Amino acid sequence: MDNQELKRYALKLRRGILRATHAAASGHPGGSLSATEVFTLLYFEELHVDPKNPEDPKRDRFVLSKGHCAPGLYAALAARGFFPEEDLLTLRHIGSYLQGHPDMKHIPGVDMSSGSLGQGISAAVGMALAAKIYGESYRTYALLGDGEIEEGEVWEAAMLAGFRKLDNLVVIVDNNNLQIDGPIDEVNSPYPIDKKFEAFNFHVINVEDGNDFDQLRAAFAEARNTKGCPTAIVMKTVKGKGISFMENQVGWHGKGPNDEELAKALAELDKAEEML
Amino acid sequence: MSQGKKIATRESYGRTLAELGKEHEDFLVLDADLAGSTKTAVFRKAFPERHINCGIAEQNMIGVAAGIAATGRVAFASSFAMFAAGRAYEQIRNSVGYPQLNVKIAATHGGISVGEDGATHQCNEDFALMRTIPGMVVMVPSDDVEAEAMVRAAYAHKGPVYMRFSRLATPVFNNPETYRFEIGKAITMREGKDVAIIAAGLPVASAMEAAEKLAAEGIEARVIDMHTIKPLNEEAVLRAAKEIGKIVTVEEHSVIGGLGSAVAEVLAEQCPAKLKRVGVYDRYTESGPAEALIHHYGLDGEGVYSAVKAFLA
**Domains of chain B by start residue, with CATH:** 6-171 (3.40.50.970), 187-312 (3.40.50.920)
Residues of chain B contacting residue A119, judged by C-beta atoms under 8 Å apart: 59, 63, 66, 91, 94-95
Residues of chain A contacting residue B95, judged by C-beta atoms under 8 Å apart: 112-114, 116, 119, 122-123
Stated length of chain A: 276
For residue range B97-133, what is the model confidence (pLDDT) as tens digits? Answer: 999 999 999 999 999 999 999 999 999 999 999 999 9
Q: Is B134 helix (H, G, I), strand (E, B) or coil?
A: coil
Whether the Cβ atoms of residue B258 and residue B279 lie closer than 8 Å to each other: yes
The alpha carbon of residue A78 is apart from the nearest alpha carbon of chain B, in Å, by 21
Is the pTM higher than 0.90? yes
Q: What sign results for the dihedral spanned by CA atoms A28, A79, A233, A275?
A: negative
From B25, B49, B58, B243, active-site residue: B58
For residue range B11-69, what is the model confidence (pLDDT) as tens digits? Answer: 999 999 999 999 999 999 999 999 999 999 999 999 999 999 999 999 999 999 999 99
Residues of chain B contacting residue A160, judged by C-beta atoms under 8 Å apart: 54-55, 57, 60, 64
With a threshold of 0.90, tell me whether the complex ipTM lies above it: yes
Q: Which of B49, B63, B98 sits opposite A133 (nearest CB)?
A: B49
Q: Which of B59, B60, B99 sits opposite A104 (nearest CB)?
A: B99
The rounded distance, in Å, linking the Cα atoms of A189 and A178 is 11
Instruction: Look at residues B199, B264, B194 and name the one whose alpha carbon lies nearest to residue B222.
Output: B194
B218 CB contacts (<8 Å, ≥6 apart)?
A: none
- B60/A113 CB distance under 8 A: no
B291 touches chain A (CB under 8 A): no
pLDDT higher than 90, residue B276: yes
For residue range A122-140, what is the model confidence (pLDDT) as tens digits? Answer: 999 999 999 999 999 999 9
| Angle formed by the axes of helices A213-224 and A3-24, nearest 10° | 100
List the 247-266 stretch of B: residues with Cβ below 8 A of A: none
Task: Identify any residues that bridge with A232 across adjacent strands, giving them in sequence order.
Answer: A171, A204
The per-residue pLDDT for B1 is: 47
Q: Which of A128, A133, A157 sits opposite B63 (nearest CB)?
A: A157
**Residue of A63, A114, A122, A166 to mutate for B, most B C-beta atoms under 10 A:** A122
The rounded distance, in Å, linking the Cα atoms of A42 and A216 is 10
A132 touches chain B (CB under 8 A): no
For B39, left (φ over 0), alpha (ψ -120 to 50), or beta?
left
B68 touches chain A (CB under 8 A): yes
- B60/A63 CB distance under 8 A: no
Instruction: Look at residues B186, B99, B82, B91 and name the one whose alpha carbon lies nearest to residue B134.
Output: B99
The alpha carbon of residue B102 is apart from the nearest alpha carbon of chain A, in Å, by 13
A59 touches chain B (CB under 8 A): no
Helices (H), B71-201: 81, 89-91, 126-131, 144-156
The per-residue pLDDT for B4 is: 79
Range of the domain at A9: 3-274
- Whether B58 is catalytic: yes
The alpha carbon of residue B232 is apart from the nearest alpha carbon of chain A, in Å, by 25
Residues of chain B contacting residue A168, judged by C-beta atoms under 8 Å apart: none
A158 touches chain B (CB under 8 A): no
- B70/A159 CB distance under 8 A: no
Neighbours of B115 (CB within 10 A): 19
Q: B135 exposed, middle or buried (CB, 10 Å; 0-12, 13-18, 19+)?
A: middle
Q: Which of A122, A133, A156 sits opposite B67 (nearest CB)?
A: A122
What are the average pLDDT values for consecutive 10-residue runs of chain A, which has 276 residues? 97 98 97 98 98 97 98 98 98 98 98 98 98 98 98 98 98 98 97 98 98 98 98 98 97 96 98 96
Q: Which of B69, B94, B100 sits opposite A116 (nearest CB)?
A: B94
The rounded distance, in Å, linking the Cα atoms of B117 and B139 is 24
B53 touches chain A (CB under 8 A): no
**Residue of B31, B52, B71 to mutate for A, most A C-beta atoms under 10 A:** B71
The rounded distance, in Å, linking the Cα atoms of B264 and B272 is 9
> φ, ψ for residue B248 (rounded to 5)?
-120, 125
List the 13-42 stretch of A: residues with Cβ below 8 A of B: none
Neighbours of B145 (CB within 10 A): 21
CATH number at A249 reads 3.40.50.970
Chain pair A-B, CB pairs under 8 angstroms: 107
- A126/B65 CB distance under 8 A: yes
The per-residue pLDDT for B2 is: 46
Q: How many domains does chain A have?
A: 1
- Asked, as a colleague might, if the bond just before B231 is cis with ω within 30 of 0, I would say yes
A57 touches chain B (CB under 8 A): yes
> What's chain A look like in SS3?
CCHHHHHHHHHHHHHHHHHHHHHHCCCCHHHHHHCHHHHHHHHHHHCCCCCCCCCCCCCCEEEECCHHHHHHHHHHHHHHCCCCHHHHHHCCCCCCCCCCCCCCCCCCCCCCCCCCCCHHHHHHHHHHHHHHHHCCCCCEEEEEECCHHHCHHHHHHHHHHHHCCCCCEEEEEEECCEECCEEHHHHCCCCCHHHHHHHCCCEEEEECCCCCHHHHHHHHHHHHCCCCCCEEEEEECCCCCCCCCCCCCHHHCCCCCCHHHHHHHHHHHHHHHHCC
A127 touches chain B (CB under 8 A): yes
Query: Considering only alpha carbons, which residue of chain A is nearest residue B67?
Result: A123
Instruction: Look at residues A90, A204, A223, A99 and name the one whose alpha carbon lies nearest to residue A149.
Output: A204
Mean pLDDT, residues B208-235? 98
B75 touches chain A (CB under 8 A): yes
Distances (CA, A) of A136 to A131, A132, B79: 5, 6, 28
